[in-house]
Amino acid sequence: MASSLFANHISQRIIKISSPEYSKLFHYNILSLKSQTQISNHVFSEMKKLTIIGGGPAALILAAELDTTKYKVTLCERKKTMGRKFLVAGEGGLNLTYNSSIEELIKRYFPSDFMAPIIRQFTNKDLINWLNAHDIPTFIGSSNRVFPELDLKPIEVLNKILGFISGREIDFKLGTKWVGWDKEGQLSFEDIDAIDSDIVIFAMGGSSWKVTGSDGGWKKLFEERGVKVQPFRAANCAFEIDWDKDFIEKHEGKPLKNIALTYANHFSTGELVISKFGLEGNAIYALSQKIQDKLLTQESVVIHLDLKPTMSVEQLRAKYKNAGRAKVTDILKKDLNLDRTSIGLLKQFTAKATFSNPDLLMETIKSVPVTIKSAGGLDEAISSLGGIALEEVDENFQCKKIPNTYAIGEMLDWYAPTGGYLLQGCFSMGFVLAKYLNGLDE
Ligand SMILES: Cc1cc2nc3c(=O)[nH]c(=O)nc-3n(C[C@H](O)[C@H](O)[C@H](O)COP(=O)(O)OP(=O)(O)OC[C@H]3O[C@@H](n4cnc5c(N)ncnc54)[C@H](O)[C@@H]3O)c2cc1C
């Protein structure tokens, strides 16, 4: 991506902030408020009025990239501060994107044919360059996940982005909840008058972690306009397992590291964590959509865990044979290097007789059957499945049934596992839409 794409950022110093909360969070912007220059009305009268609803990552990059000499931009966020889910995402390590080839990256999105052109136009490398250009240095972790530099806290990352967009000619209306359309088709809000807009961009997120403001309350408003919205379900979420009392007492909170997981013909690797509720962690998040789909029609689903993915059954059998110890548990621990939690799990899901049949036991270590009873709650999930059906928008995210209206980010019905793919997807959509709108003819 050419660095000239960032050129339109320079020398735009006019701020209009509607909430006092904003000034508390970003005190350095208050200084520039004092030297605020009024935007002349005659310039505005020739410009198109563009309203963004929502203040998450998709909206923020859009606000950063829109041509404010062409559009009079207003951004409405229901919460008193923007980017609250972005901050929650930062609590477990802010995984901004994933370092891989574009082809590999695209494969992680569902449906990938919808996401492919979006990711190609604003790739993982482009996002890293964009962040770096906005004074957010990044590094690639050992797992190829991309994070902000270690000394940079998530709030500082957010503040750098907000600090940048607050210096642009944008009217921020914080604590401003959109509640639908009025009779004239204009945007209605809880506490302020309707906003008259030529173009509206919705970026109100999905429906997990409601406390952040993304509660999916917009679903019925779109459905009333005839827009098909797929039901929300938890994605990248925990799954319920019926643990033995003894097992969970000993192993709650313990990880199962470097395991592989198969469900039907789907495969993932990574880590799992044992919780009272069941299993969570990137290995199961990656298959959450597939498992959820099956749980729609079946009461339970069986997944298979490979506790030794780097060894074949034959290698395990050979190790077992040469172990020369009497107790099976000792062989599992000392010769096969299985930790106590893996052995406990193996015991819970394997018939006692299997432990006296080494050949069968080695096979089972490669494929422990674990029954999932249900998915965890939507509110605790990292992301949600569902949202505006993709056939409702065109290739530029424009709603086919509501004129001059666009939707981006997690509001749309796409899915990706954890690993930075979600933020990459949202940032890509915001950037690509800004580029499209900036290029529209008058
Ligand atoms: C615990 C957790 C950890 C995560 N970790 C990662 C990670 O490490 N890497 C990664 O890639 N992704 C991660 N994610 C996912 C990522 O945060 C989301 O995919 C991303 O924030 C979605 O961006 P968005 O712009 O679509 O919407 P959101 O970030 O959800 O923002 C939508 C905004 O719209 C506002 N809004 C909603 N309704 C209205 C209304 N009626 N009027 C006005 N405003 C409204 C909301 O208040 C909200 O601020 C994580 C998520 C969670 C919950």
Express each pLDDT in 66-101 by its tens digit: 999 999 999 999 999 999 999 999 988 899 999 999
Closest-CA residue, ligand 1 atom 53, reads: 382
Residue written as tokens 């690509």?
Answer: 432
Closest-CA residue, ligand 1 atom 30, reads: 205
Cis peptide before 111 (omega within 30 of 0): yes
What is d(CA 15, CA 103) in angstroms, rounded to the nearest whole number? 40
Per-residue pLDDT tens digits for 317-346: 999 999 988 899 999 999 999 999 999 999
Residue 212 CA: which ligand 1 atom is closest?
47
Q: Which of 19, 74, 204, 385 to mutate to test the pocket of ligand 1 (most atoms within 8 A of CB)?
A: 204
| Percent above pLDDT 70 for the chain | 90
What is d(CA 276, CA 142) in angstroms, rounded to the nearest whole number? 29
Closest-CA residue, ligand 1 atom 3, reads: 89
Q: End-to-end distance of the chain based on CA atoms, in angstroms?
A: 25
Residue written as tokens 């010769």?
Answer: 335
Q: Which of 79, 146, 210, 382 to mutate to test the pocket of ligand 1 (most atoms within 8 A of CB)?
A: 382
Please indicate, yes or no, whether the overall pTM of this predicted structure exceeds 0.85: yes
Q: How far, in Å, is the centroid of ligand 1 from the Cα of 120?
A: 22
Report, as an integer, the average pLDDT of 164-173. Answer: 96
Residue 54 CA: which ligand 1 atom is closest?
34
Q: How far, in Å, is the centroid of ligand 1 from the Cα of 320?
A: 49
Q: How far, in Å, is the centroid of ligand 1 from the Cα of 205?
A: 5
What is d(CA 206, CA 223) in angstroms, rounded to the nearest whole number? 15
- Residue 2 pLDDT more than 60? no
The amino acid occupying position 188 is S
Structure tokens belonging to residue 246: 């003894």
Residue 177 CA: which ligand 1 atom is closest?
42
Q: For 409, phi and psi rounded to 5 degrees?
A: 80, -155
Q: For 345, phi and psi rounded to 5 degrees?
A: -65, -45
In angstroms, what CA-CA distances link 416 with 54, 84, 423, 440? 21, 20, 10, 30
Q: Which of 77, 173, 214 to mutate to test the pocket of ligand 1 (most atoms within 8 A of CB)?
A: 214
Q: How far, in Å, is the centroid of ligand 1 from the Cα of 313?
A: 43
Closest-CA residue, ligand 1 atom 7, reads: 95
Report, as an integer, the average pLDDT of 28-36. Answer: 29
Nearest alpha carbon to residue 164 among 63, 84, 311, 80: 63
Q: Give just the sign of the alpha carbon dihedral 328, 330, 336, 337.
A: positive
Q: How confident is the model at residue 246 (pLDDT cuts 50, 70, 90)?
A: very high
Per-residue pLDDT tens digits for 357-387: 999 999 999 999 999 999 999 999 999 999 9
- Residue 43 pLDDT more than 80? no
Per-residue pLDDT tens digits for 100-146: 999 999 999 999 999 999 999 999 999 999 999 999 999 999 899 99
Q: How far, in Å, is the centroid of ligand 1 from the Cα of 172?
A: 18
| Percent above pLDDT 90 for the chain | 86
**What is the structure's pLDDT at 44?**
57
Q: How far, in Å, is the centroid of ligand 1 from the Cα of 15?
A: 24
What is d(CA 85, CA 90) in angstroms, rounded to the nearest whole number? 9
| Count of alpha carbons within 13 angstroms of residue 19, beta-carbon side | 22
Cβ pair 75, 55 in contact under 8 A:
yes
Residue 185 backbone class (left: φ over 0; alpha: ψ -120 to 50; beta: rest): left
Residue 262, SS3?
strand
Q: How far, in Å, is the centroid of ligand 1 from the Cα of 150?
A: 22
**Domain residue extents for the chain:** 3-233+380-438, 239-375
**What is the structure's pLDDT at 211?**
96
Per-residue pLDDT tens digits for 177-218: 999 999 999 999 998 999 999 999 999 999 999 999 999 999
Per-residue pLDDT tens digits for 259-295: 999 999 999 999 999 999 999 999 999 999 999 999 9
Ligand 1, CB within 6 Å, residue ranges: 53-59, 76-79, 84-86, 88-89, 92, 94-95, 177-178, 203-205, 208-209, 213-214, 217-218, 382-383, 409-410, 418, 420-423, 426
Q: How far, in Å, is the centroid of ligand 1 from the Cα of 139?
A: 23
Residue 101, SS3?
coil
Residue written as tokens 């505005």?
Answer: 44
Nearest alpha carbon to residue 392 among 228, 218, 232, 231: 228
Q: For 438, phi and psi rounded to 5 degrees?
A: -65, -30
Strands (E), 175-228: 178-181, 187-189, 199-202
Averaged pLDDT score across all residues of the chain: 90
What is d(CA 106, CA 123) in angstroms, rounded to the nearest whole number? 10
Residues with Cβ < 8 Å from 267, sequence gap 6 or more? 260, 261
Q: How far, in Å, is the centroid of ligand 1 from the Cα of 191?
A: 23
- Residue 22 pLDDT more than 90? no
Cβ pair 54, 409 in contact under 8 A:
yes
- Residue 37 pLDDT more than 60? no
Q: How far, in Å, is the centroid of ligand 1 from the Cα of 357?
A: 50
Q: How confident is the model at residue 36 (pLDDT cuts 50, 70, 90)?
A: very low
What is d(CA 22, CA 80) in angstroms, rounded to the nearest whole number? 7
- Residue 20 pLDDT more than 60? no
**What is the structure's pLDDT at 150?**
85
Q: How far, in Å, is the centroid of ligand 1 from the Cα of 383?
A: 8
The amino acid occupying position 235 is A
Closest-CA residue, ligand 1 atom 29, reads: 56
Name the pairing type of β-strands 187-189 and 199-202.
unpaired
- Residue 24 pLDDT more than 80? no
Q: How far, in Å, is the centroid of ligand 1 from the Cα of 187?
A: 22
Q: Which of 422, 429, 431, 433 to mutate to test the pocket of ligand 1 (most atoms within 8 A of CB)?
A: 422
Q: How confident is the model at residue 442 (pLDDT cuts 50, 70, 90)?
A: low
Q: Domain spanning 3-233+380-438 has what CATH number?
A: 3.50.50.60
